[in-house]
Amino acid sequence: MTIYSNIGKPNKRIDALDKVTGGAKYIDDLKLPGMLYAKIKRSKFPHANILHVDTSNAEKLSGVKAVVTGKEFAANFNNPVFGDPLADQPFLAVEKVRYIGEPIAVVAAISQEIAEEALDLIRVEYEQLPTVLNIEDALKCDAPLIHEDSKNYKYSPGFKPTENTNICRYIEITNGNIEKGFKEAAFIFEDTFTSHSTHHVPMECRAAIAQFNPDDSITVWASDQSPYGGRNLIAAALKISESKVRVITPSYIGGGFGGKLRLSGSMPIIAIAWKTNHRPVKIVLTREEEFTSTTIRHASIVKLKTGVKKDGTIVSRYAKVMLDTGAYADRGPTVLGKATGTSIGPYKIPNVKVEGYCVYTNKAIAGAYRGYGNPQVCWAYESQMDIIANKLGIDPIDIRLKNMVEEGYITSTEKQEAHAVGLAECLIKVKEDISQKREEKIIENRKRGNGIACSYKISRTPSGANAFIKLNSDAGADIFVSSIEMGQGVNTIFAQIVAEELTIPFDNIRVLPADTDITPFFPASTSSRTTFFLGNAVKKAAQDIKEQLFKIAMDILEVDKEDLALERGSFFVKGAPEKKLKITEIMEKTYPGGISILGRGTYYHYKLGNLPSHVKVGIPPTLVWMYGSQGVTIDIDTETGRVKILKISAAHDVGKAINPVTCEGQIEGGVLQAVGNAMFEELLFNEQGKIINSSLLDYKIPSALDMPEINPILVEEPHREGPYGAKGLGEIVMVPTAAAIAIAIYNAVGIRIKDLPITPDKILKLLKVN
């Protein structure tokens, strides 16, 4: 076993001091010379043609410097629409609006107050259109079309929307023979599970500043998880070179969870910046705007038909996955891809058919949300797995172990090799932990139950990552990466990797904030990819520096590489430890006039079977699978329907915990967020499709008082390509929670909840039926 000096250690987070002292800076702390403030005029109808927008009175208001309408912006940039993989969204609505809250015009003024005042002076004439507010209605043959012209949209290969429907993506996946599979089955289970819309609720609302420069380049400062993604989206939409767009994030963003992706919700700032005569213009969304006009989690309907043998072997599954993506596609089509791909669960099911529908409705746009479609399908497949186990009388642990994928298995939906499957260990550890007898006394009208669920998730590929490192002459180092520190602790991980490789003090390592002109490529801090992909790039860049140092040390000490060791910032000759040379001495002796030692690292991960013919890699690439299992103990009050979570055991296979404390933090935070999604949070829409609980008073997220006991359990099944074996963790932690809670409720009182969220009134209703 390799002994590490920094890897696997609970190093203090390098952002700790900044955070506790208030020194951390966010977009709203940034003031630029001549900066203006923007406010957005939004649609009050869910579906309507825009007949006329009159901005003349707004323009006359003292302090207003510019007003822009969708029509004006579209005319100048030849109808720019953005969206990846499907370009369907205007910066501001042009011909029609498709949801309540859609941006129509933007005002820039010398103060927020004036900009706000000007909004009321903008007159919009609408012609209302029939609306579509849920998946079923949207899929009807005679449903009003939300995007009549979708056949002319630009899309990435494989992402063609279905013409003359509200289907923005349809997916069909088959493996084996589904009919034969059902024939082989002794039992067939058919169930439908639904989930609701929720919001990420980051502490920091979206904020951005944009400036058009005299050379026609655009600079954007944004609270965003994907500066490169945002850059490319803007460049593609405006039909300019990507090098003409610079996206800068501050050192920190106040939470993301998939929401702050590619400037979602902030794009109108580009439109108004175009009109401010090179002055920068800032927007900070209000909490209400954050709720209603950014991106939300996909509401879903998942129908599962599963064929099982008497011994519990699952032989066939048909899954129909339907996601409500709201008025525009955003990341919906790829969320559907991930949801359909994992709709069979981490199980060996030979005969499979999956159909997926991502559908437009006249509601707020759904996009990426921590878990990326996996929570919705896991909610279904794990709930049904419990139904199957109960029906067949098989222990829920055993039936899962029996069907679980194993090393080398080629999965039937993704057609990828399963690798480093630590799931069985997770499941067994959770079982051991959750079954421990709890001391609390059960009082009257209260029932106790346990539930366990499994989950898996993959990171998107192909995916690349770059890193630069600069080693200063005092053996301090600066790391250049385009990842975003949004609470997950990624900067600490990278500093640990560099400290490990170069054996330099952890405290002298810094990580630069992302800036597409400075920090090299990384697609986005999403998909639980950062530690794996970018960790590898950082490690390679550090090794690039190490090699240069070794070469000089070999010259100075006149020994071969094999005879040289690097420890605690010094090289020494093996067997002659008195022959020692500090890294700082190496630099001073070789470069008396000063120098930095520079390192560069690039890591690229392909999808199996998807390698360009000229690319040769040593180990066949596989997807980066992440596995986890959670067990829940609950207490239920049968008179009120109130559920109290007593404990959640959350075992997750991290490959290698580079920093166990940040891993545990990820688990605790994610599990709590999953509890919120399962039991507390729900975006409520009125009959017009308007979100009616768009404040933190009305939209409940769990507070410290709602925090159950969470026991994070770290399992380490190393990935052969991961840095020190590490895999991702950020999303998987919130995938199985809802199912485990519902299963625990069934275990306690025998009612089966199939519609999220789990609320006391639903429980009471079901208890009465029983």
Residues near its own copies (CB under 8 A) are 17-18, 21, 23, 25, 29-33, 213-215, 228, 232, 235, 241-244, 278, 460-464, 466, 468, 470, 472-474, 476-478, 480, 508, 510, 512, 517-518, 520-521, 523, 544, 552, 555-556, 558, 589-602, 604, 612, 614-615
Nearer to its own copies, 212 or 328 (CB): 212
- Cβ-based nearer residue to its own copies, 32 or 392: 32
DSSP class of 362: S
Those residues whose C-beta lies under 8 Å from the C-beta of residue 372, and which sit 6 or more positions away, are 258, 331, 334, 335, 338, 339, 457, 526, 527, 731
Helix 374-392 crosses helix 737-749 at what angle (to 10 degrees)? 30
Query: DSSP string covering 258-303, please?
Result: TSS-TTTTTTHHHHHHTTSTT--EEEE--HHHHHHSS-BPPEEEEE
Residue 510 Cβ vs its own copies, minimum distance, rounded to whole Å: 6
d(C-alpha 416, C-alpha 618), whole Å: 17
C-alpha dihedral, 88 to 90 to 96 to 101, nearest 10°: 110
Which candidate, 628, 615, 607, places its Cα nearest to that of 670? 628
- Rounded Cα distance between 142 and 151, Å, is 18
CB of 154 to its own copies, least distance (A): 17
Closest to its own copies by CB, 73 or 606: 606
**Shortest reach from residue 153's CB to its own copies, in Å:** 21
The nearer residue to its own copies, 33 or 618, going by C-beta atoms, is 33
Instruction: Name the minimum Å distance from CB 338 to its own copies.
Output: 15
Q: Residue 713 carries which side chain, given as an amino acid letter?
A: I
Kindly tell me which of 376 and 503 has the beta carbon lying closer to its own copies: 503
Q: Which is nearer to its own copies, 30 or 145 (CB)?
A: 30
Is residue 140 classed exposed, middle or buried when 0-12, 13-18 and 19+ CB atoms within 10 A define those classes?
Answer: exposed
Nearest distance, CB of residue 488 and its own copies, angstroms = 21
Which is nearer to its own copies, 112 or 194 (by Cβ)?
112
Residue 514 CB-half CA count within 13 A: 34
Q: What is the C-alpha separation between 232 and 622, in angstroms, rounded?
A: 27
Question: Is 143 or 511 the residue whose CB approaches its own copies more closely?
Answer: 511
Could you tell me the smallest distance in angstroms from the CB atom of residue 556 to its own copies? Answer: 5
Which of 340, 254, 358 has the alpha carbon at shortest distance from 299?
Answer: 358
130 cis-preceded (ω within 30 degrees of 0)? no
Helix (H) / strand (E) element for 418: namely: none
DSSP 12: P
Q: Which of 421, 349, 423 is nearest to 185 (CA)?
A: 349
Burial-class residue 439 by CB neighbours within 10 Å (0-12, 13-18, 19+): exposed
Q: Shortest distance, CB of residue 517 to its own copies, whole angstroms?
A: 5
Question: Phi/psi at 693 (nearest 5 deg)?
Answer: -120, 55
Q: Which is nearer to its own copies, 390 or 543 (CB)?
A: 543
Neighbours of 293 (CB within 10 A): 26
Identify the residue whose tokens are 């979206």.
Answer: 206
Which of 223, 188, 214, 244 lies closest to 294, judged by CA?
223
Query: Shortest approach of its own copies to residue 653 CB, angstroms?
Result: 24
Instruction: Give me 28's structure tokens.
Output: 């709203």
Q: Where are the alpha helices (DSSP H) in 562-604?
A: 583-590
- Smallest distance from its own copies to CB 346, Å: 25
The amino acid at residue 570 is S
CB of 36 to its own copies, least distance (A): 15
d(CA 329, CA 366): 8
Q: How far apart are CA 389 and CA 426, in angstroms?
A: 19
Burial class (CB in 10 A: 0-12, 13-18, 19+), 415: middle
What's the gap between Cα 325 and its chain centre? 16
- Residue 381 or 494: which CB sits closer to its own copies? 494
Q: Decide whether 69 or 232 has the Cβ nearer to its own copies.
A: 232
Smallest gap, in angstroms, from Cβ of residue 458 to its own copies? 14
Nearer to its own copies, 561 or 589 (CB): 589
Q: At its nearest, how many Å lie between its own copies and the CB of residue 191? A: 36
Judged by beta carbon, residue 81 or residue 537, the one nearer its own copies is 537
User: What backbone phi and psi angles, to 5 degrees, belong to 28?
Assistant: -70, -15
Give the whole-angstrom CA distance, residue 407 versus residue 163: 41
d(CA 372, CA 527): 8
Nearest distance, CB of residue 226 and its own copies, angstroms: 11
Q: In the bound complex, what is the minimum distance in angstroms from residue 519's beta carbon to its own copies?
A: 8
Closer of 157 and 393 to its own copies (Cβ): 157
